[in-house]
Amino acid sequence: MKRIFRTGLMGMAAAIALSGSAFAADYPTKPIEMIVAFAPGGGTDVAARSIASFMEKHLGDGARIAVINKPGAGGEIGWTAVAQAKPDGYTIGFINVPAINALVVEGKAKFKMDDFQPIANLVYDPGVLVVGKNSPFKSVKDLVEAAKEKPGTIAVGTSGAVGSSEHITILNFERLAGIKLTHAPFGGTAPVRQAVLGGHIPAATMNLSEALQLAREGEIRVLGVMSEERSEYLKDAPTFREQGYDVVAGSSRGIAAPKGIPAEIVAKLEAAVDKALKDPEYLEAAKKAEIPLHYLASADYKAFLDKSTADLEATWKVSPWR
C-alpha cells in the first residue's frame, strides 16, 4: 500500500509539472495587465505604454498588454497590487528604484522586496548635481570642501519631498563625503530648475534627462553624474566616481511580477523585453526621445535591486529621512 501511495503521489506531481509546462507553453492566452503605480502621462506611464506594444509583438500572435494606472501613496498602492496579485503571469508591473525600496526600508509598505520576481530593467536615468552657470563651484570637490568649512549652510534643491529619491541621494552623498548639507524640497522639477537658474539656491539634484537641455545651452553646470560611466548624452560631464565619491544613484524603471510566477513565464517575459529593446523601430523612437535605456536581465536586475535596498538600509541607519 505504501508503495502504491508513493507511486500515486509521484504520478500526481508529474501531472502537475506537465500541466504547468503546458500552461507556460501556451502563455499568454488572455490579456496581461501591466500596472503602473503613477498617474497617466508621467515618465513611468510613457515608458510602460511605449514598451507594451513591442512586448506584444515579441510575445507572439494575439498577445495583448493593458496598461493599468493605480496611482497613490507614492507608488505604494500600485506596487502592493502587483505584489499581491496571482502569480500566473497575467499581472505584471513597473517598479521604480529607489522609491519602492525606500518604502520598504521606512516600514511603510505592505510588501517586501522579496515579494517581487524581477523580470527586466529598462531605463536608468542617473542623478546629477547641478549649479548655476555663475557658481563658484566647478567640481564636486569644490562643493564638498565648502560644505566642510560651513556645515549645513549649502542648500541643495530637489524636485521631491522628504524621503524622495533625490533627498535620499543627498543623504547618501553626505554619508560618503562626511559633510552636512541642507535639503530644499521644491515639489517639482520645473520650480527647482528655476531656483538654480535664478540663483536662489546654490545647487540641486535631478535626473540627467531633466538637466540635459539647460546643460547643453550653458545655463547650468553639471558638477557630477551619478552613474558608473559617463553618459553618452553628456560626455563632458564627469561622474562622481571619477572625482573620488562612490555615488551611483538615479531613477530606475523596470518590470516585475509577483513572487511565485513560473520560471518558464519569467523567461518568456524577459525574452520579450530583450527583443523589444533590440527592435530597430523601438530603438529609433527611444533615441529621438533621449530615453536612457539600460537593460538588465532578470538575474542582474535582482542583484541591482538587492544592492539598492542594502544601500538605503545603510543610509537609513545613519540618517533616517522620515
Name the residue with cell 493599468.
Answer: 68
- pLDDT value at position 118? 98
Distance of CA 145 to the CA centre of its chain: 31
Name the residue with cell 542583484.
Answer: 303
Domain 127-243 is found in CATH 3.40.50.10580: no
The answer to whether the beta carbons of residues 59 and 272 sit under 8 Å apart is: yes
Q: Tell me, what DSSP letter sits at residue 186?
A: -
CA distance 166 to 45: 20
Helix (H) or strand (E) holding 44: helix 43-59
Which residues, in sequence order, are CB contacts of 46 under 8 Å at separation 6+? none
The answer to whether the beta carbons of residues 237 and 225 sit under 8 Å apart is: yes
Domain ranges of the chain: 2-125+250-318, 127-243
Which architecture does CATH list for 2-125+250-318? Answer: 3-Layer(aba) Sandwich (3.40)
CA distance 175 to 171: 6
The answer to whether the beta carbons of residues 27 and 265 sit under 8 Å apart is: yes
* Tens place of pLDDT per residue across the chain (322 aa): 545 545 555 555 444 444 445 557 889 999 999 999 988 887 788 889 999 999 999 998 889 999 999 998 878 999 999 999 999 999 999 999 988 998 999 898 999 999 999 999 999 889 999 999 999 999 999 999 999 999 999 999 998 777 777 888 898 899 999 999 999 998 777 899 999 999 999 999 998 988 998 999 999 999 999 998 999 899 999 999 999 999 988 889 999 999 999 999 999 999 999 999 999 999 998 888 778 899 999 999 999 999 989 988 988 888 787 6
- Name residue 206's beta-bridge partners: 128
User: Closest Cα partner for 169 from 127, 221, 215, 200?
Assistant: 127
2-125+250-318 and 127-243 share one CATH topology?
yes
pTM, full prediction? 0.76
- pLDDT value at position 73? 85
- pLDDT value at position 7? 53
- CA distances (Å), origin 165, targets 10, 98, 202, 259: 50, 6, 20, 25
Distance of CA 200 to the CA centre of its chain: 30
